[in-house]
């Protein structure tokens, strides 16, 4: 991105400060997405200053006031681009970042965050099944069904998966991961 050059030193300092704040907000994104966001902000500033022939500092302050604080204005853009990155790459790191950034956006993201926590616990259950096979599994009993670790074996509760527990958990992990990605794609399509 080519920075706008101002004649007035104070205007240049205000502009540089605003762009530096924008860079801090978008640094979590890929280099290409960072550049795209910064070019968009720069474009708004440049077009406004060219269209409004007023004092350089006044024009700059007016457009920066309209754009708002980058920490607020760019939050939604960064969150949206993180979702796109998670969907494209299937990288769990980007998935966590996207869910964290979008946690404030509603119930769907809370559900997705819960599903992601489950996704993280499944490998722990696999390891625990290898360490303590008699206490880890899929447990059923009268009015009881759960997946996990049991400390004391109450009467009437029995483990039903046996040696198939690890393959079942692996398949559940894959299905849950694909479901999370599918829900994210559906949410992205609904947004304008």
CA-to-CA dists, residue 71 to 39, 79, 94, 151, 153, angstroms = 16, 12, 20, 47, 52
Please give the pLDDT value at position 192. 46
Range of the domain at 30: 1-73
Q: What is the mean pLDDT of residues 124-138?
A: 93
Please give the pLDDT value at position 112. 85
Q: Are residues 110 and 184 in the same domain?
A: yes
Q: Are residues 118 and 162 in the same domain?
A: yes
Q: What percent of the chain has pLDDT over 90?
A: 40
Q: Are residues 106 and 190 in the same domain?
A: yes
Nearest in space to 165 (alpha carbons), one of 188, 191, 139: 139
- Residue 133 within any structural domain of the chain: yes
Dihedral of CA atoms 143, 146, 151, 155 in degrees, nearest 10, equals 30
What do you get for the CA distance between the two ends of the chain, in Å? 26
Q: Are residues 107 and 173 in the same domain?
A: yes
Beta bridge partners of 70: none
Residue 135 has pLDDT above 70, yes or no: yes
Q: Binning pLDDT at 50, 70 and 90, where does residue 105 land?
A: low
- Residue 82 within any structural domain of the chain: no
Q: Are residues 52 and 109 in the same domain?
A: no
Please give the pLDDT value at position 55. 84
Q: Are residues 60 and 148 in the same domain?
A: no
How does pLDDT run across 170-185, given as a tens digit for each residue?
999 999 999 999 888 8
Measured between alpha carbons, how far is 131 from 133 in angstroms, rounded to an integer?
A: 6
13-17, 56-60, 124-128: lowest mean pLDDT where?
Answer: 56-60
Q: Binning pLDDT at 50, 70 and 90, where does residue 167 land?
A: very high
Please give the pLDDT value at position 91. 84
Q: Are residues 65 and 115 in the same domain?
A: no
Nearest in space to 43 (alpha carbons), one of 67, 25, 21, 65: 67
Can you read off the two tokens belonging to residue 74? 């760019």
How does pLDDT run across 21-40, given as a tens digit for each residue?
999 999 989 899 999 999 99
For residues 182 and 1, which has the higher predicted lDDT (pLDDT)?
Answer: 182
Can you read off the two tokens belonging to residue 171? 């398949």
* Count of the separate structural domains present in the chain: 2
Q: Are residues 110 and 175 in the same domain?
A: yes
- Residue 123 within any structural domain of the chain: yes
Q: Are residues 130 and 62 in the same domain?
A: no
Q: In 27-53, which residue ranges form alpha helices assigned H by DSSP?
A: 31-51
- Residue 78 within any structural domain of the chain: no
Residue 148 has pLDDT above 50, yes or no: yes
Q: What is the mean pLDDT of residues 70-83?
A: 84
């Amino acid at each position: 991105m080519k920075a706008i050059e101002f004649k007035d030193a104070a205007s240049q300092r205000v502009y540089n400060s605003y762009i530096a704040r924008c860079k801090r907000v978008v640094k979590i994104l890929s280099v290409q997405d960072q550049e795209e966001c910064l070019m968009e902000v720069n474009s708004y500033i440049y077009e406004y200053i060219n269209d409004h022939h007023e004092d350089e500092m006044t024009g700059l302050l007016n457009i920066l006031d309209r754009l708002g604080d980058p920490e607020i204005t760019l939050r939604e853009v960064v969150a949206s681009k993180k979702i796109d990155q998670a969907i494209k790459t299937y990288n769990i790191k980007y998935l966590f970042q996207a869910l964290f950034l979008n946690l404030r956006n509603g119930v769907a993201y809370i559900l997705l965050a819960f599903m992601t926590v489950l996704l993280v616990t499944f490998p722990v259950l696999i390891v625990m099944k290898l360490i303590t096979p008699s206490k880890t599994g899929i447990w059923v009993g009268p009015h009881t069904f759960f997946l996990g670790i049991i400390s004391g074996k109450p009467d009437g509760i029995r483990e039903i998966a046996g040696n198939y527990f690890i393959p079942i958990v692996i398949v559940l992990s894959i299905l849950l991961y694909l479901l999370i990605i599918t829900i994210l794609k559906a949410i992205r399509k609904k947004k304008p």
